Every structure is written in structure tokens, then in C-alpha cells.
């Protein structure tokens, strides 16, 4: 088995407003599609971890030089062209399976039930560190 990180980004590549602006029914349909996919991955023993992230308006950027106090700035960051919305860590037999999962995430419904067609990044994990060590 090989681990892959499947990254869902909001990068403006699709003409869809941020999820916070969707009709609540459309948002629920989108989330239900992803819940169903994640349930399938759990049943298959493929889902290692999944997390959705808060919006950029709640993000913090920390910069430190090691000498003074760190500088913490708040979002949102209008200059950002790409924002990480969430991720799934999967442990699958082949890269093709990871790509299949990413395609399902990309095709999740958006406003009006239309598949989003988001860019989903798939990256193989080079190594894993466990805090339990």
C-alpha cells in the first residue's frame, strides 16, 4: 500500500463562489457527496485521515526570525491566489486508485448540483513521521 495526500484547493480555477456564499442546500449536497466518498474509503480501509479547514478569514500567518517575538498576522489574504480547503490522506494499492479518488472529489456537486471540476492535487507521501515514536 502507498500513501497519497489528496489536496482540495480553492484556487479560482472554477467559476464558483466560495462555499460560504452557496445556497445551504447546495452546500449540504456537496458535503454529503464527500461524506459518502469518505465512508466508502473507510469501508475499503483506504482512508487514513481527512480534514476540512476553516476559511482563510480565520487563518493566521506566523513569521519568526528566532531572535524576537514571532509576528502573527490575520487573514483574509486577498492577494492569495490559492487556498487549501482540506485534504484526505489515503493508503491505496496504486497511484491510479488515488487519482480515481481525486476525480471523485473534483466532480463533487457545487451550486445547482453541477460538478465543480476543481483542481485536486495528488502527491505521494515520501515518508511518515509518527509522534508516537
* 56-75 mean pLDDT: 85
Answer whether residue 132 is part of any domain.
no
Does the residue 130 lie in any domain? no
Does 91 map to a domain?
Answer: yes
**Is 110:16 a contact under the CB 8 Å cutoff?**
yes
pLDDT computed for residue 54 by the predictor: 80
Q: Are 29 and 97 in contact (CB under 8 A)?
A: no
Give per-residue pLDDT as tens, 21-55: 899 999 999 999 999 999 999 999 999 999 988 87
Question: pLDDT tens for residues 6-18?
Answer: 999 877 777 888 7
Q: Is residue 75 part of a domain?
A: yes
| Cα distance between residue 48 and residue 61, in whole Å | 27
Q: Which domain holds residue 8?
A: 2-124
Bridge partners, residue 87, by sequence: 7, 51
Residue 44 within a domain: yes
Residue 86's nearest CA partner among 51, 48, 38 is: 51
- Scanning the chain, the segments in alpha helix (DSSP H) are 24-43, 95-106
Question: Which CATH number does the domain housing residue 78 bear?
Answer: 3.30.70.1060
Residue 133 covered by a domain: no
Whether omega before 83 lies within 30 degrees of 0, making that bond cis, reads no
Q: Is residue 112 part of a domain?
A: yes
Query: What's the number of CA atoms in the CB half-sphere (13 Å) around residue 79?
Result: 0
The answer to whether 47 touches 88, Cβ cutoff 8 Å, is yes
What's the number of domains the chain is made of?
Answer: 1
Does residue 78 have a pLDDT over 60?
no
Judge whether 129 lies within some domain: no
Amino acid at each position: 500500500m502507498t500513501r497519497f495526500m489528496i489536496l482540495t484547493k480553492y484556487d479560482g480555477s472554477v467559476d464558483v463562489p466560495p462555499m460560504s456564499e452557496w445556497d445551504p442546500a447546495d452546500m449540504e449536497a456537496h458535503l454529503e457527496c464527500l461524506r459518502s466518498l469518505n465512508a466508502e474509503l473507510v469501508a475499503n480501509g483506504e482512508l487514513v485521515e481527512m480534514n476540512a479547514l476553516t476559511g482563510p478569514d480565520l487563518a493566521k500567518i506566523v513569521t519568526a526570525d528566532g531572535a524576537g517575538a514571532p509576528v502573527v498576522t490575520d487573514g483574509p489574504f486577498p492577494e492569495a491566489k490559492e487556498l487549501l480547503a482540506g485534504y484526505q490522506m489515503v493508503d491505496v494499492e496504486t497511484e491510479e486508485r488515488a487519482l480515481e479518488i481525486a476525480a471523485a472529489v473534483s466532480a463533487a456537486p457545487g451550486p445547482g448540483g453541477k460538478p465543480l471540476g476543481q483542481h485536486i492535487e495528488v502527491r505521494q507521501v515520501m515518508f511518515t513521521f509518527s509522534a508516537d515514536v
